[in-house]
Amino acid sequence: MSPAESEERTLREALGVALGQALLPIRDSTGAVGVLFSAGVDSSLLAWELRQRPTLLLCTLGRAGAPDLLAGRAAAEQLGLPWEGLLIGEQELGEVEARFAGELEDLPDVSRTVLLALALAIDRAGPTTLVCGQGADELFLGYAHYRGLSANEAERRSLEDLERLHRTDWPRTLRIAEKAGKSLVAPYLSGDFERCALQVPIDRRLPRDLPKRFLREWALERGLPAKLAYRPKKALQYGTGVSALIRARRRAVR
């Protein structure tokens, strides 16, 4: 094994330890736990790591026929885990938008739509303890805007996105969860996991032809089925159909 291969193996092992530590309170807790489950690699890896825990429920949000609903059901069957579809329409969208209006204010359209989708999932999921995959896109370069960037540019953008997540988006999400009477955990944002992920050289985290390639390869190494590790993922607002619901409502009021 070359020094570079040895170093990467050490980094992967450290990531595994950090993820295990971040998930330990969930494994040791009592009562039902829900995973906000889109069937993308982020949430699928969390479901895989928690699969031995009793009373685990995979919760997928979407309007009727949404890609995430269809993929979520199929992925849950592949994992052999209980699944709940959180079906939404314009009425549910309007109710949650009004209920959490304060947290949705003063955000760019895309950020607001993503947060609204998260609010819908948090509010409608049955379990009061929820696990989500926030942070994976920022750490492992999952967003479309990372494509084609140089290593230096991608690293700078990743750190900027991560800082904004910690400063703005994640605190708003936590406040929404609190108002909904839920406890929300993001293992990828735990201090140790985040530090370990940022130690992975940026050239290994670059998307190139596949977003989150490093995370997908690592998830596969940890036993996640390849179909889930490499499943193409739509952005939350599109996979759930929330963007389409918003557009339909805007057309209706014109």
pLDDT in tens, 118-162: 999 999 999 999 999 999 999 999 999 999 999 999 999 999 999
Q: How many CB atoms lie within 10 A of CB 208?
A: 11
pLDDT surpasses 80 at 3: no
pLDDT number for residue 233: 79
- Mind listing the pLDDT tens digit for each residue in 194-239? 999 999 999 999 988 899 999 999 999 999 999 999 998 778 888 8
Percent of the chain's residues with pLDDT above 70: 98
Angle at the Cα of 57 (from 92 to 186), degrees rounded to 5? Answer: 80
**pLDDT over 80 at 249, yes or no:** no
Burial code of 46-60, b = ≥16 C-beta within 10 A, e = fewer? bbbbbeebeebbbbb
pTM: 0.94
Structure confidence at residue 115 as a pLDDT band (50, 70, 90): very high
- What percent of the chain stands above pLDDT 90? 82
Confidence grade of residue 5 (pLDDT, cut at 50, 70, 90)? confident
Burial class, 212, CB count within 10 angstroms (exposed 0-12 / middle 13-18 / buried 19+): buried
Name the average pLDDT for the chain.
Answer: 93
Give the C-alpha distances (Å, rounded to integers) separating 106 from 79, 99, 102, 207. Answer: 39, 16, 9, 31
Q: Residue 88: which of 122, 121, 131 has the closest Cα? A: 121
- The pLDDT, as a whole number, for residue 253 is 61
CB burial string 84-109: b at 16+ within 10 A, e below: bbbebeeebbeebbeebeebbeebee
**Token pair of 103 as six digits:** 């947290």
Provide the pLDDT for residue 238.
85
CA–CA dist 69, 13 (Å, integer): 33
CATH 3.40.50.1860 fits 3-253, yes or no: no
Helix (H, G, I), strand (E, B) or coil at 138: helix
Mean pLDDT of 110-115: 91
Mean pLDDT of 36-40: 96
Tell me, what's the pLDDT at 254?
57
Q: What's the N-to-C CA distance of the chain in angstroms?
A: 64
Q: What secondary structure letter does DSSP report for 147? A: T
The pLDDT tens digits for 72-105 are 999 999 999 999 999 999 999 999 999 999 999 9
Between CA 244 and CA 115 the distance in angstroms is: 15
- What's the pLDDT band for 6 if we cut at 50, 70, 90? confident
Strand boundaries in 63-104, DSSP class E? 83-87
Reported as a pLDDT band with limits 50, 70 and 90, residue 1 is: low
